[in-house]
Amino acid sequence: MPCHDIAVVTLDNPPLNSLDHALRVRIVSALTAAQADPAIRAIVLTGSERAFSAGADVTEFGTPRQFAEPILRSVLEQVRHSSKPVVAAIDGVALGGGLELALACHGRVATRRAKVGLPEVTLGLIPGSGGTQRLPRLAGIDVALGLMLGGTQKTASEFVDTSLFDRVVEGHLLDAACACAAELADAGAPWPHADRIHLDPGYVSTKVSLARQRLNARQRLQPAYAALLDAVAASAGPMDEGLALERSLFLGLIGSTEARALRHQFKAERESARLPDALQVAPRPVSTVAVIGAGTMGTGIAICALDAGLDVILVEQDDAALSRGRHRVADHYAARVSAGKLDEHAAVAVQARLLPTIDWQAIGRADLVIEAVFEELSVKQDVFRRLDAVARPGAVLATNTSYLDIDTIAAVTSRPQDVLGLHFFSPANVMKLLEVIRSRDTAADVLATGMALGRTLRKSPVLCGNAFGFIGNRVYNAYRRQCEFMLEDGAWPEDVDRALTAFGVAMGPFAVADLSGLDIAWRMRLAQAATRDPRERHVPVLAQLCEQGRMGQKSGAGYYRYTDGQRAPSTDETVRGLIEQASAARGLQRHALKADEIVRRALLAMVNEAACLHADGVSSRPGDIDVVLVQGYGFPRWQGGPVFWAREQDRKQLLAELRELVAAGGRGMRLADEAALALLLD
């Protein structure tokens, strides 16, 4: 139907029509003009195929533009009280404030593929322009709670049984929206609006109470979740009262440490995925990836590549190992099908792009090769010697090492410029972090290829310099070492784990060690023993546990004892005895450590190491360190990362505490001096 008497207002702020101040001004101006024009009887708001609007411009947060009139609430009030019906025509995404704008309209038409969501909780906020009041009324309390608490996106086709959309169409969006607007105009005022939908207070109260009970421990540590539920509970009352409460809660959150930390992490993730300007070159094309090693890590990497639409050659040394790897991949996709997350035909099509083989000559077809073999230098060097002989010229050769020197691995090839590190985190098909490690000779386009691959795999790639442990393991080792010092000083493993999980880390360091296997760290320390200064403070407990066969969960005991897969609530006498012996050998009088002291010492150790590695050039940007620790090591996202945390502290006190921490650690600990700290925090 032609829109000859309907004003079409197009949101135009590429790429995603973020609702910055300039766009808000233009929307109000267009609405005012349309309402004043007697030839216009209805209004359609639309965007682009990519986005109706992705919501607020986060770069305005904390600036005067954020609260410059017209704020979004003012725009929505003009829509709400329009003398002519307003219909939102939605394609692409309608997120946050973009969805709130659509919710304030009198009608909504969307394409089936359009995606909607209110992800504010992931930024430590709640919807601040009516989302908590209108979405429950239009989509139902259950759907609204799921969408807002999860911070997820859903397609318009998933809302066909609700009142959220008047029409969901395959195509001709604008025509359908104009037809909807014309029908509303023909019907006359009052126009349909969420305000006129009333919810059952008892039902809303029950659902909100259940949602509070179901919040997990990490959600309970973030004030946005409780605030969101408070706001949604008000949707059972008068609209204006709910809007007022929502706004008050929103304003209380926007300056909170958690919200600022989450905005910092959001910005840091966007920046970390970009190479520094000096290294900005075109990547090499990659359509086929070879993965050497079909163990847990190798098959996880293969699944990532398959999910990204790449062809994968999975290489093993014998048929038995290859068969195990092939079955891991098949089991993964079978589980996806059983869970309803993947169509069976799609699963078959994905696996058709996998070539399992023991023939190394097949690697010659690959554009990029990733080895995922045993973490031992000689083993990886042998692999790269073979790769040098079979990989095609120009192919990128990547090692998945966690600690080893990339230069030493690259040196066994005739093409060190084609070698880099791609450090995946386990499970590789789940974890978002990818450390991209630059060796001495790595070509710029090879680095660009590694970063581009990370984005193709839908990961967060972070550029790292070639130094022991790169960014993540180097900081984590310093953190874990400090936690072991606290055992000698007087804490038990459960004291440390409990304090740090209360701060928000996903798992305490000793629970993590048991989960991953104590023998991994033990082997690494054995390899370093010959070069370690004997005067260096070294806690022997981990080695002693391994020598007793206590390798963690897989052996039934580590720092904790496990019965039927369950962790004991506290450490047993064997562990406590070893810890007490270590304290006595060092001449330490054990004393209980308070939770806040445990947390602060752990964070100070991370900050000190972060400052040292940044001063050494291992990280390109301070924010990269926070991305690595949050994405790969369970650091609480709403705490921003160790760099953000350090920036929140008094600089003089922080430096004094770092000096004290390093002095207590003794020989082997390097102090991040004032200059290194300034590089990190300024």
CATH number assigned to the domain comprising residue 451: 3.40.50.720
* Claim to verify: residue 578 and residue 598 sit in the same structural domain: yes
Residue 260 lies in a domain: no
Each residue of 530-554: pLDDT tens digit?
A: 677 777 788 999 999 999 999 999 8
Calpha distance 210→475 (Å, rounded): 39
Which is catalytic among the residues 100, 258, 484, 609? 100
* Claim to verify: residue 188 and residue 298 sit in the same structural domain: no
597 annotated active-site: no
Domain boundary pick from 466, 493, 520: 466
Domain boundary pick from 421, 448, 466: 466
Which of these, 456, 429, 424, 457, lies nearest to 333 by C-alpha position? 429
Sign of CA dihedral 253, 212, 162, 196: negative
* Claim to verify: residue 250 and residue 305 sit in the same structural domain: no
Which of these, 194, 111, 99, 117, lies nearest to 156 by C-alpha position? 111
Q: What backbone torsions phi and psi does residue 513 show, to the nearest 5 degrees?
A: -60, -45
* Claim to verify: residue 246 and residue 297 sit in the same structural domain: no
Contact (Cβ atoms closer than 8 angstroms) between residue 292 and residue 337: no
Residue 281 lies in a domain: no
Residues forming a β-bridge with 619 = 464
Residue 13 lies in a domain: yes
* Claim to verify: residue 451 and residue 484 sit in the same structural domain: no
State the pLDDT at residue 1: 45
The strand pair at 433-438 and 419-424 is best described as antiparallel
State the pLDDT at residue 529: 66
* Claim to verify: residue 483 and residue 427 sit in the same structural domain: no
Residues forming a β-bridge with 312 = 289, 354
**Which pair of structure tokens corresponds to residue 639?**
């705490």
State the pLDDT at residue 530: 67
Torsion (CA) 208, 211, 217, 221 in degrees, nearest 10? -30
- 371 by DSSP, 3-state: which? strand
Contact (Cβ atoms closer than 8 angstroms) between residue 109 and residue 88: yes
* Claim to verify: residue 416 and residue 560 sit in the same structural domain: no
* Claim to verify: residue 56 and residue 100 sit in the same structural domain: yes
Residue 273 lies in a domain: no
* Claim to verify: residue 188 and residue 318 sit in the same structural domain: no
Residue 176 lies in a domain: yes
49 annotated active-site: no
Q: Residue 572: what residue type?
A: D
Residue 358 lies in a domain: yes
Residues in the chain with pLDDT values less than 70:
1-2, 529-530
- Which residues span the domain enclosing 545? 473-681
249-255 long-range Cβ contacts below 8 angstroms, 24+ apart = 249/126, 250/125, 250/126, 250/127, 250/128, 251/128, 252/227, 253/124, 253/125, 253/126, 253/223, 253/224, 253/227, 254/61, 254/125, 254/128, 255/62
Q: How many residues are recorded in the chain?
A: 682
Which is catalytic among the residues 120, 246, 371, 435? 120
Calpha distance 157→395 (Å, rounded): 43
* Claim to verify: residue 614 and residue 654 sit in the same structural domain: yes
CATH number assigned to the domain comprising residue 35: 3.90.226.10
Which of these, 243, 236, 238, 249, lies nearest to 136 by C-alpha position? 236
Contact (Cβ atoms closer than 8 angstroms) between residue 551 and residue 518: yes
- pTM of structure: 0.92
Domain boundary pick from 424, 444, 466: 466
Calpha distance 162→622 (Å, rounded): 46
Place of tokens 């017209």: 70
CATH number assigned to the domain comprising residue 488: 1.10.1040.50
Residue 16 lies in a domain: yes
Contact (Cβ atoms closer than 8 angstroms) between residue 554 and residue 546: no
**Per-residue burial over 512-537, b = 16 or more CB atoms within 10 Å of its CB, e = otherwise:** bbbebbbbebbebbeeeeeeeeeeeb
Q: How many domains does the chain have?
A: 3
* Claim to verify: residue 387 and residue 298 sit in the same structural domain: yes
Which of these, 649, 639, 682, lies nearest to 262 by C-alpha position? 639
* Claim to verify: residue 250 and residue 387 sit in the same structural domain: no
Residue 133 lies in a domain: yes
Place of tokens 């759907």: 143
